[in-house]
Amino acid sequence: MNEVLFQKEEMIEKQLKARGIKDPRVLEAMMEVPREEFIPKALVEHAYKDTPLPIDEEQTISQPYVVGLAAEILNIREDDRVLDVGTGSGYAAAVMSKLGKEVYTIERHKTLAEAAKKRFDQLGYDNIHVLHGDGTKGWPEHAPFDAINIAAGAPRIPEFLKKQLAIGGRLIIPGGSEFRTQRLVLATKMNGEFKERDLGSVQFVPLIGAGGWRNRKEKSVSPKKEKKSVIELIEAVAEPFNNPESADLSPLLERIGDARIVLIGEATHGTSEFYQLRELITRELIKKKGFNIVSLEADWPDVAHLDRFVRDTNVSPPDEEPFIKFPTWMWNNGEVLRFVKWLKDYNENKSEPSQKTGIYGLDFYSMFASVKAIIDYLEDINPSLAETARNRYGCLTPYENNPASYGAAAMSDEYKKCEKDVTHMLYKILANRVEAAEKNGARYLDALQNARLVANSEEYYRNMYLGAQSSWNLRDNHMFGTLMSLMNHRGPDSKAVVWAHNSHVGDASATEMGARGEHNIGQLAKEDFEEKAFNIGFGTYHGTVAAAHNWGDKMSVMNVQPSPKESFEHLMHQVKHDNFLLPLHKKGHEQLTEELEKSRLERAIGVIYRPKTEIQSHYFQASLSNQFDEYIWFDETRAINPLPQRKKEEGVPATYPFGL
């Protein structure tokens, strides 16, 4: 079997069928259309991956699942005439041409329209007709249409298109009041009335035209005032500093205001400056704004060691040494150690336990260490329940050394009972909540979180084999749920700082993650807390980074490649300041917000770095000012300082994407 055929079949099985697309005609069309012919040559190796890809004119080709979903929802019959608004590369039109009689596709960018027509001619798609024009006005000469596919987001269904839809016709559109985030809506025309059905959140490029959004590039500028370049706009707002220690954080604290959650990111898991400034910001939030929770993208039992140290609690530490699993350097480094020592000193000056700031892990990869923590806890308070837990969790233990293999076994009926068992144990813990909290609130919280961790991570490892989207969402749902449990435990005055990668703390709906149905902690926090959640992203252009070439490899100090010109990093590199804080929503500087709202490439380096495939492996499309409230830039950075390793253990599998 050749490689392309293998990738196609894998796409059909893992991206389409596994997510519920069952129409055999749609699956056959997706199999027949060569997606590699519709993307830039430099990205051909990613043609059948579960992601949208950039094309010319700041547009994207939708991920295969989105195209397949649209085709199935529209229920295109052999004699149907289809209108496709937003041709782009032409991939969606090609798929629909395999299903219907004629496809009429409209593209507002002349270069894309011409390229698509040439591509259709070369590939022999003689039932596709291309028009360069305003797609919101439709193509009235060929109306009515049995199905209309709108591949761009709009505030509402354009009236022109409503009139051109046949009675009984179906129309799908990403609709909503936000410029970059929408809800996918199916509208069916019945006797002139439209019946709508919400199909979930999505992210598409905006639909520009008379019936959509106004082209923000064409906003009028006062003739008395010359329009500034985006570089000049950044320089007018940027707050420069020489090094992390010299940064004036007072203006940032004012912008944070009375937020209850501050999410502080990092563009890599191995850059010293990101850790340093994140630590200094957190210190100020604790001292001046009363933040009492610091939560890390790290395993709960590992960070329990740190919390016991900084708060001097009576919670028994886990038997296993913390941070000995790959990637050890991510939290076992000098930059984190400095903060932990500072937090210990800060807490020692607090007389009441409730006044002390705790530090907690949000993640769940220590599934089996957590099972042990629950059983040990139950042994003390209820030996009978401990034995029940030991029996129920027994179905997981064969996979302690390689939890990813549990996902493969979980596909069989024999292991399906584990989901019921681990969640039942969580309910047992919850049922004892009042009594346990009265006896020892701190220890109870630890056991409760470990029970949640096992239930969620069991589901995570099963879903690793069903597709990246569900695994990613499960993980971030778990981390956000942990954060909410911590805040509830600390009471109404709780305030939390989150330390995690940009891909977790920035609003996912403002990136291509949202387009493929993924969300993250940052998005969930914004939805729940609105202006009371403040997120901060980091970026760098070049320097060194601590990372591994592959999951489980030894850490190396690698050179960070300079960023491509289509990226936010390249844009920031042109600013005259080397290091600066950049407020993205500063009053009086709305033009900068709009400029940085435009989609560009953004870099993400996790614990894995692959410089040879830099763009393909480490860049994604994003809208910076919709993703973050603040952006902190270091033009040149250096690797973190890992601490000596105490002992080694076999690591756990990589997370999606890029090992973040």
DSSP code of 588? T
Q: What confidence tier does 379 reach under pLDDT thresholds 50, 70, 90? A: confident
| 104 pLDDT more than 90 | yes
- Give 559 or 406, the one with higher predicted confidence: 559
CATH architecture of 229-291+495-641: 3-Layer(aba) Sandwich (3.40)
- Give 616 or 393, the one with higher predicted confidence: 616
CATH of 3-216, one of 3.40.50.2000, 3.40.50.460, 3.40.50.1950, 3.40.50.150: 3.40.50.150
Q: What confidence tens digit (pLDDT) does each residue in 260-319 have?
A: 999 999 999 999 999 999 999 999 999 999 999 999 999 888 888 898 889 887 666 556
Q: What confidence tier does 420 reach under pLDDT thresholds 50, 70, 90? A: low
The structure tokens 């959004």 sit at 213
Q: What confidence tens digit (pLDDT) does each residue in 113-139 have?
A: 999 999 999 999 999 999 999 988 999
Give me the amino acid identity at 330. M
- Give 450 or 557, the one with higher predicted confidence: 557
What percentage of residues in the chain have a pLDDT greater than 90?
48
- Residue from 366, 389, 384, 354 nearest 318 by CA: 366
Residues 6 or more apart whose CB falls under 8 angstroms from that of 100 comprise 76, 77, 78, 79, 80, 81, 82, 127, 146, 147
- Output 49-56 pairs: Cβ under 8 A, ≥24 positions apart: 50/11, 50/14, 50/15, 50/467, 50/468, 50/469, 50/516, 51/512, 51/516, 51/620, 52/512, 52/515, 52/516, 52/621, 54/566, 54/601, 54/621, 55/88, 55/89, 55/112, 56/109, 56/111, 56/112, 56/115
From residue 605, give the alpha-carbon distance in Å to each of 264, 270, 561: 16, 8, 11
State the DSSP H helix or E strand holding residue 104, giving kind and residue range, or none if neither: strand 102-107
| 343 pLDDT more than 80 | yes
Distance, CA of 207 to CA of 400 (rounded, Å): 50
Note whether 461 and 403 are within 8 A (CB). Answer: yes
Q: What confidence tens digit (pLDDT) does each residue in 407-417 have?
A: 555 555 555 56
CA 273 vs. chain centroid, Å, equals 23
Q: What confidence tens digit (pLDDT) does each residue in 520-564 have?
A: 999 999 999 989 999 999 999 999 999 998 877 899 999 999 998
Distance, CA of 131 to CA of 113 (rounded, Å): 7
Distance, CA of 27 to CA of 32 (rounded, Å): 9
What percentage of residues in the chain have a pLDDT greater than 70?
78
The structure tokens 């069928």 sit at 17
Note whether 48 and 34 are within 8 A (CB). Answer: no
Q: What confidence tens digit (pLDDT) does each residue in 630-659 have?
A: 999 999 999 999 988 655 444 444 333 334
Q: What confidence tier does 57 reach under pLDDT thresholds 50, 70, 90? A: confident
What's the confidence (pLDDT) of residue 325?
Answer: 78
| 223 pLDDT more than 60 | no
Distance, CA of 519 to CA of 472 (rounded, Å): 8
Mean pLDDT of the region 9-13? 91
From residue 312, give the alpha-carbon distance in Å to each of 339, 358, 360, 534, 535: 16, 10, 14, 30, 30
**Is the pTM of the predicted complex or chain greater than 0.85?**
no
Mean pLDDT of the region 357-375? 77
Poorest-pLDDT segment among 139-148, 208-217, 259-268: 208-217
Q: How many CA atoms does the CB half-sphere of 138 hold within 13 Å?
A: 21
Distance, CA of 172 to CA of 360 (rounded, Å): 44
Mean pLDDT of the region 55-70? 85
What's the confidence (pLDDT) of residue 400?
Answer: 58
What's the confidence (pLDDT) of residue 145?
Answer: 96
What's the confidence (pLDDT) of residue 518?
Answer: 82
- Give 200 or 504, the one with higher predicted confidence: 504
Q: What confidence tier does 60 reach under pLDDT thresholds 50, 70, 90? A: confident
- Choosing from 62, 471, 563, 567, the catalytic residue is 62
| 349-366 core/surface letters (b: 16 or more CB in 10 A; e: else) | eeeeeeebbbbbbbbbbb
Q: Quick check: is 62 catalytic?
A: yes
Q: What confidence tier does 217 reach under pLDDT thresholds 50, 70, 90? A: very low
What's the confidence (pLDDT) of residue 28?
Answer: 96
- Give 154 or 515, the one with higher predicted confidence: 154
Give me the amino acid identity at 603. R
Distance, CA of 246 to CA of 235 (rounded, Å): 19
Mean pLDDT of the chain: 83
What's the confidence (pLDDT) of residue 300?
Answer: 82
Residues 6 or more apart whose CB falls under 8 angstroms from that of 644 comprise none
Give me the amino acid identity at 150. I
Q: What confidence tier does 87 reach under pLDDT thresholds 50, 70, 90? A: very high
What's the confidence (pLDDT) of residue 427?
Answer: 55
Coil, helix or strand at residue 320 = coil
Distance, CA of 62 to CA of 331 (rounded, Å): 36
Structure tokens at 304: 């329990």
What's the confidence (pLDDT) of residue 68?
Answer: 93
Q: What confidence tier does 207 reach under pLDDT thresholds 50, 70, 90? A: confident
What's the confidence (pLDDT) of residue 220?
Answer: 37
- Give 35 or 43, the one with higher predicted confidence: 35
**Which phi and psi (to 5°) does residue 341 adopt?**
-65, -40
- Residue from 348, 320, 356, 273 nearest 634 by CA: 273
What's the confidence (pLDDT) of residue 438?
Answer: 43
Residues 6 or more apart whose CB falls under 8 angstroms from that of 61 comprise 35, 38, 39, 52, 53, 55, 88, 89, 91
Enumerate the domain spans of the chain.
Answer: 3-216, 229-291+495-641
Note whether 497 and 293 are within 8 A (CB). Answer: yes
Structure tokens at 127: 């039932």
What's the confidence (pLDDT) of residue 612?
Answer: 85
